[in-house]
Structure 1
């Protein structure tokens, strides 16, 4: 641990002073303080189906889960709405579309979320990259959506041996995803909303381990070059602070999910920046607070690491104003932290909308 601690100490002035956060995208794309939620649009998993028109008003960004590829390496995405046999009460396509339009008229953003736990997306070739762009565009146009959310999990992203330069990645699945998202952003322009929902393993774990061929899992930190390359276009990064093992923070201590301290430590890493695998010459620079939200399970059954309402509010207090902090002390205060993300709207409705009701007004303070 001493090597990492020494590297961080040597880098502190550079990261905090000489490497300011990148300018955030235009804030009009997403509300200043937002609640982001995933809607089970293509499947059911025990929480019940929620019609688009019935999504509670507290949710500012609605991610349609999920578009998945026809095969892990095809790049060809399909978005199939849940069938009545699996989702009793499902609305017609016409009603679903009308629900989207109604939400958009209220100022909500409705995005296509790609991937999920079962949707492995490996863009190994230029053909897969082009198929991804074309098929994502077709789905976005079909439903008139506002943008795309990248929720790649499992083995969708990894870094090949020797691919350790954050600014110049060479692994095809990473490079092709960057190119695909740039193409979509160019196609739709400034109003296109781009969000990402990686797991902690693909982001914060890069502080300890980065790049393949070092004895570590080649997926460690593999989202970082994608985030870095697209930081000027990225509206929201909401790392999944759940379904996670213990993660080392910038204090060189391990933090465990389910409490305020974990969220403070994980978010502070994104807003402070950090060296990759202890290398001060290979640094992930801070994101702007407007680009970051805390990712949470909406209820206990939604994912491991559920955080009770008071603990979430403690994390918001600590990050935004430096009050109510626990053992971990963040490197600054971030009053413009964008908000909260939850998996999922369906699970929250199933549990009486506790997440939306408890956090909407608090997160908007």
Structure 2
């Protein structure tokens, strides 16, 4: 946050997610694959994958976002191979569902070529597996193994690339192990009667009608297969609170997979997503300036009533690594610190939360080892006890260390308890990828985090979650960048939109309050969007933040009068 407006910089970054892989190896005997129950599959086991060399085009395979095609060069074997091209937020996954037997072991392999090429199996009923290569200019074989669960009758095998990378190639897919069902059976029909049941903040129950000839069912969430079950019901877990999802199911047997059922939409219930004390479900955050830079000088008692979280800006570095203190600026006109403390109590009595903000444009607080992390937690907690603050806001614009800031905030949480309010105000570049330190910290403390109010200003152009470039100052900029946080793992109540209260509040990025409200409507309801529209709605999105209550007051409170009621009415 600016003590004085600064010159904006134009930055463009490509978003990469965290590249991870998991490999669960199954023991191989010298003469073959040892199967559950003591039977052994030798080298002559049939390949269960259909059209494994793509000699029949994409028959048997489904590629996301029409990303796949077949080519005659390069090929590993035969006369064709798969070419799949990632684009935007699509990683070019090509998959097929294969009938298998429960409690059995399988070996999966493929020949691949390209950058960040993955091979994996999902819906195994045990540990889903994947393996990958960072880069190969020639053909390289990827191999992994898995064991099916007690009720698993089908698995999905797949290849995919990575966001922003060139096309990859795959050929000669092999899945060996005992086949399931009878290959002569007809493909089952699409399930009917799909309906939602009990929903929690992180799960939705589904059920559907049985299909004749089916040996199992696949459950799809927003077009992606997430479960394989043997019965006619499933509970999809790991969902974000207050978020809508679309579901479909298919029936499978040894011959293949049915078309998808009609889609149904389910919405998870609201959840705090972490800490937050008495912060309302939809909240407005405002920064209160403990200095005079030309905006309206306010005492804390004068902060507009629309603000639910008031971030006192800023704490000061003490000179000891990790240490922070606070000094009330005489320019504010307080007769004593006790009057300031009384104002905090009065705001809290009115249902507001008051936190101490660490950082700002000029703030340099270093938390880079365990000692400074403990010092940070102890000094912030000391300020909370002295002044009555409800928590802390992290607004470090000169970088942070995810490992030790996580340690510091968890230590603070252990001292302060479950009512601790933790807010964050990263810059746009800090939240472009889950690999960035700010994003990592937010995810690391997701269980105690209240809200991340990213600064959608002083930014320049950035990539949205669809891989397209958006310029600041538009609904698309706000929604597509919020989408990155929501798709990256934060719960909707942990995401807020941070904007200047006036053109004087920041060097660039000011938008009219109506644009803020349109962006909130787009994210929460799917209405008033620009050219970008998220694939799902997030009714539980927390709200909005502004820099600052003082600049808002200097503009006749136009921002809070327009945005505040809209947030509270979501």
Measure how far apart 1:270 and its partner are: 1.3
Partner of 1:5: 88
User: Which structure has more helix as a fraction of its residues?
Assistant: 1
Does structure 1 residue 321 correspond to structure 2 residue 321? Answer: no
Question: Please, which of 541, 548, 558 is the counterpart of residue 337 of structure 1?
Answer: 541
- Tell me how far apart the structure 2 counterparts of residues 108 and 14 of structure 1 sit (CA, whole Å): 43
Q: What is the aligned-residue RMSD (CA, Å)?
A: 2.2
Asked if the contact 2:275/2:421 (under 8 Å) is kept, the reply is no
Classify 1:6/1:146 alpha carbon distance in 2 versus 1 (closer, same or farther; 3 Å): closer
Q: Are 2:435 and 1:225 equivalent residues in the alignment? A: no
**Are residue 148 (structure 1) and residue 392 (structure 2) matched?**
yes
1:6: how far off?
7.2
Q: Is 1:234 matched up with 2:436?
A: no
Shift of 1:68: 2.3
What is the SS of the residue equivalent to 1:301? coil
Aligned residues: 318
Partner of 1:115: 359
Residues 246-257 of structure 1: pairs in structure 2 closer than 5 A: 246-257=461-472
- Corresponding residue number in structure 2 for 1:281: none
For the residues of structure 2 that align with 1:182 and 1:244, how far apart are their CA atoms? 30
1:26–1:131 distance in 2 versus 1, CA, 3 Å = closer
Match of 2:495 in 1: 292
In structure 1, the residue matched to 2:422 is 194
Partner of 2:485: 270
> Residues 94-173 of structure 1 correspond to what in structure 2 (within 5 A)?
94-154=338-398, 156-157=399-400, 173=401
How far apart, in 2, do the equivalents of 1:223 and 1:26 lie? 18
Greater RCO structure (CA 8 Å; 6+ sep): 1
> Using the alignment, how far apart are the partners of 1:31 and 1:287 within structure 2?
18
The 3 A distance-change label for structure 1 pair 89 and 342 is same
TM-score under structure 2 normalisation? 0.53
Report how far residue 92 of structure 1 moved: 2.3
Aligned equivalent of 1:175: 403
Matched, 1:67 2:315: yes
Q: From the two aligned structures, give the one with the greater strand fraction.
A: 2
Contact (CA 8 Å) 1:194, 1:233: kept in 2 or not? yes
Counterpart of 2:555 in structure 1 is 351
Matched residue, 1:78: 325
Contact 1:261 1:325 in 2 (8 A): yes
Counterpart-to-counterpart distance in 2, 1:288 and 1:345: 26
Unaligned 5+ runs, structure 1: 158-172, 211-220, 274-285
Contact 1:29 1:235 in 2 (8 A): no
CA distance in 1, matches of 2:408, 2:358: 13
**Contact 1:116 1:152 (C-alpha < 8 Å) held by counterparts:** yes
Gapped regions of structure 2 (runs ≥ 5): 1-13, 15-84, 94-159, 161-222, 227-235, 242-270
